[in-house]
Amino acid sequence: MHSDSPNLFDRVRFVLVETSRPGNIGAAARAMKTMGFHDLVLVKPRFEHALTHEEAVAFASGAQDVLQQARVMHSLDEAIADCSVVAGLSARLREFSPPLKQPREFAASIAVESTLKTALVFGNERFGLSNEQVERCNFLLHVPTNPDYSSLNLAQAVQIMAYECRMANLPSAQMPTGIGFQGELATAEQIEGLFTHLEQALIDIAFLDPTHPKKLMSRLRRLFSRSALETEEVNILRGIAHHIQQKNNKK
């Protein structure tokens, strides 16, 4: 179930025009679902039963619900009729085209709108969008790919746009923070205690000459300052220094 509120995930429609391969439709559905989108429309796919084709279902890989909700329409005009913003993706720049934007710039612009329905239009895998189809769009989107090899698979293009739209809509406060271990940052006092202990251990093993220290401790401070040391890490380093001293005293 989707909320009735006009959030970005309900406002963005992915329109695939004259798609040739059922696997690409399934892969596009998967790309959409991983980023939280669900509104998929096919315009004149080039095979029957496109949404239930076994290859489409296989490539959807868990996003079959997106396929089940998707609709097939007879024209691009029908697919975008209720949309206020229509953007077509193209690897080819056109002499006469609507304003050109990059995906990130476009995603940021639609994320700030609270009500506008948006259609992202993707052309046939081989031919892309025709000039007539591009003329139906308000914007032309161009992914800045490697100029020596600019070919994007249809599902890859869908993934890029779905990702950029999601990131534009996701406040930094909602970014995941619980990934990996995160300990408590060490205090200045703890870090200073570490350096004092470490310096003495290096003197004890004759690695550091206290009469000619040069820049050793300054460089070590610089090294550790880049690490954002945690309390547990300071304790580990002090434990190492302690054992160095113990081993040295037993000689």
Is residue 183 included in any domain, yes or no? no
pLDDT tens-digit map of 78-108: 999 999 999 999 877 777 778 899 999 999 9
Rounded Cα–Cα distance for residues 67 and 60 (Å): 8
Exposed, middle or buried: residue 121 (CB in 10 Å: 0-12, 13-18, 19+)? buried
Least confident range of 32-46, 76-90, 169-183: 169-183
User: Is residue 134, in this structure, part of any structural domain at all?
Assistant: yes
What band does 228 get if pLDDT is binned at 50, 70 and 90? confident
3-state secondary structure of 6: coil
- pLDDT score of 238 more than 60: yes
Say what the pLDDT of residue 177 is: 55
In the prediction, which pLDDT does 179 show? Answer: 57
Question: Looking at the structure, do residues 25 and 132 belong to the same domain, yes or no?
Answer: yes
Residue type, 166: R
Res 176: pLDDT: 57
Q: Would you state the pLDDT for residue 224?
A: 85
Q: Are 43 and 15 in contact (CB under 8 A)?
A: yes
What is the rounded average pLDDT for all residues in the chain? 88
Look up the domain containing 226 and give its range.
188-249
Do 165 and 230 fall within a single domain?
A: no
pLDDT of residue 5: 43
39 lies in the same domain as 110? yes
Percentage, residues of the chain above pLDDT 70: 92
CATH number at residue 19: 3.40.1280.10
| Residue 67: closest CA among 16, 107, 18, 20 | 16
Sign of CA dihedral 11, 168, 91, 139: positive
Threshold 0.75, pTM exceeds: no
Question: Which CATH number does the domain housing residue 233 bear?
Answer: 1.10.8.590
The secondary structure of 208-219, three-state, reads CCCCCCCCHHHH
Let me know whether 205 and 163 are in one domain: no
* Same domain assignment for residues 149 and 50: yes
CA distances (Å), origin 89, targets 20, 23, 161: 17, 20, 9
Pick the range with the lowest mean pLDDT from 54-68, 69-83, 136-150: 136-150
pLDDT at 173 over 80: no
pLDDT of residue 178: 57
pLDDT digits (tens, 9 = 90+) for 181-212: 677 888 989 999 999 999 999 999 999 998 88
Residues 85 and 198 in one domain: no
Are residues 93 and 140 located together in one domain of the fold?
yes
| Residues 120 and 12 sit within 8 Å (Cβ to Cβ) | yes
Query: Does residue 240 carry a pLDDT above 80?
Result: yes
The answer to the question of residue 180 being in a domain is: no
Please check whether residues 114 and 72 belong to one and the same domain: yes
**Domain boundary pick from 150, 173, 196:** 173
Q: For residue 154, is pLDDT > 70?
A: yes
181 part of a folded domain: no
Separation CA 163–CA 200 (nearest Å):
52
Instruction: Tell me if 1 is assigned to some domain.
Output: no
